[in-house]
Amino acid sequence: MNWMAWTLPTAIFFSTIGSIIVMMTVWEIKSPCIERKGFLPISTTRGDRLFIGLLSSAFLHLFTLGFTSVNIWLALIASVIWLLSLMRWG
SS3 string of the chain? CHHHCCCHHHHHHHHHHHHHHHHHHHHHHHCCCCCECCCCCCCECHHHHHHHHHHHHHHHHHHHHHHCCCCHHHHHHHHHHHHHHHHHHC
Q: Is 55 in the site for another protein (CB under 8 A)?
A: yes
Q: Is 67 in the site for another protein (CB under 8 A)?
A: yes
In the complex, minimum distance from the CB of residue 84 to another protein, in angstroms, rounded to a whole number: 21
Q: Is 42 in the site for another protein (CB under 8 A)?
A: yes
Q: Which is nearer to another protein, 67 or 88 (CB)?
A: 67
Please, what is the angle between helix 46-67 and helix 8-30, to 10°? 160
Q: Is 27 in the site for another protein (CB under 8 A)?
A: no
Q: Is 26 in the site for another protein (CB under 8 A)?
A: no
> Which stretches of the chain bind another protein, using CB under 8 A?
2-7, 9-10, 13-14, 29, 32, 42, 51, 55, 58-59, 62, 65-67, 72
